[in-house]
Each structure stands twice: as C-alpha cells, then as structure tokens.
Structure 1
Amino acid sequence: MEKIGEIGATATKRYLLTITKNATIDIYRKRNHQFQREIYVDELEECNVPVTYAETDVDDGILDILRCLPVKYRDVFLLKYSGNMDNDEIAKVLNITEGTIRQRLSRGKIMIQEA
C-alpha cells in the first residue's frame, strides 16, 4: 500500500488499471442498461403490459437474485445477460480467460438455483 504513491511502482500501475477497468465497466453498464430499458419499455407498451409492473417487480426481482451472488459472478452475469456480451468480450473486459467466464457462469447458475 505504501508503494502506491510512487509514480513508477508496479502497485501504482495495477491500482490505476483496476480503477480504469472498473470505471469503464460502470460506464458501459449504465449506458447499456439505459438503452436496454428503453427498448424493453417500448416493447411492453406495444404489448399493453403495465410498464410500472415490469420495471419494478421483474427488474427488482432479478437484481435481488444477482445481489446474492459474489461480485465476480455478478459482474459476469451482468455483462453476459444485461450487456449482451459474448464470453470473449467479457474475458477482454475483465482480463480473464474465456474458460473462467464459462466456469463463473456455471457456478453462478448453481448458486442461483440453491438460493
């Protein structure tokens, strides 16, 4: 922790990369979530489904389930299903292998079933 203040230290570079990665993921999620919600609401209005019901009950229920997952599993689920990203895209964003992505999705599904 002391070396984070040093400009050329490896710890400083890792710290900045982590902050940048997390900020990028947050921005991507916000933009994509807003876009997805707009499409979803438009589709619901065409089907005459009450928007308030869909937005609050369904979204909150899904988010409650995802909140039960550890962060590393939750991130993969959000990028995969909310962000509509492929496993290779998620692997690049999170800087992990595609095998790890598949493993986290599988384990996350098991955790959700057990919850």
Structure 2
Amino acid sequence: MPQIPRKLLFGLGLAGLIMESVVSLPACAADKVSLFKVITTKDEIVIGLSDADLAQVDGQNAGGIAKMLVAKGSMSVWQYAVHKSASGDLEQAPLHKIGLIASDSLRVEPYPTPLKVLPIDESKK
C-alpha cells in the first residue's frame, strides 16, 4: 500500500477543515427555529420560535410555551406555512407574525417536519 506524504495529508486535512467552516458558517449565523402546532377547538396552526425566543420559555418545550401563554395571557409568534422555494422544493417558511390568546381549549405540541425550516426574518414584521 503506497504511503501518502505527510505534507499532502496535512494539506488535504486543512483544506477539508477550511471548507467545512465556510459551508457551516451561514448555518450557524441564523437562529435555528423550532416548530410547534397550536390546536384549538376551531383550528390548528404551526408556529415557529427561534432559539433565542425559546430560551425565554421555561423548559424550552411545548409545555413551557403553554405555561408562558397562560401566565402572560397572550404572546406574539410567527405563523409558519409550507411554500415552494425558487428551486421548487417545499419548505416551512414564516408567513406572518400573529398574536396567540390563552384559551381553555388550547393545546401546544412539537411539530416535526422533514422539510427545510427557514429562519425568522425580524425585518418583515
């Protein structure tokens, strides 16, 4: 089995590390968004909370969102919907900011999706 020169091996490793950091940098720049389904007796919607918003929620889960909503009485969140990207792929994207009002018949649950979830753009308030 031929020996790979150390300089070549080091150069390939360094190139791989540089490429990985360049590719993953944009993904780290945007806040990750967690999706939740909010269900009432009338309808259900999908909402998204950024990691920064979710950090303010006790437990950082659906139960924490429900507790926060009951404690505050209402909260503003981004409603998400499925749409097609320019390339034709389906994605979960923020639709518009909405207000949730606490109700006795409200349920919040995690919303797993196989689709790409776009980050919240606060400039579109």
Structure with more strand by fraction = 2
Structure with more helix by fraction = 1
Name the structure, 1 or 2, with higher relative contact order (CA <8 Å, separation 6+).
2
TM class, shorter-chain normalised? 0.3 to 0.5
With the length of structure 2 as denominator, give the TM-score of the two structures: 0.32
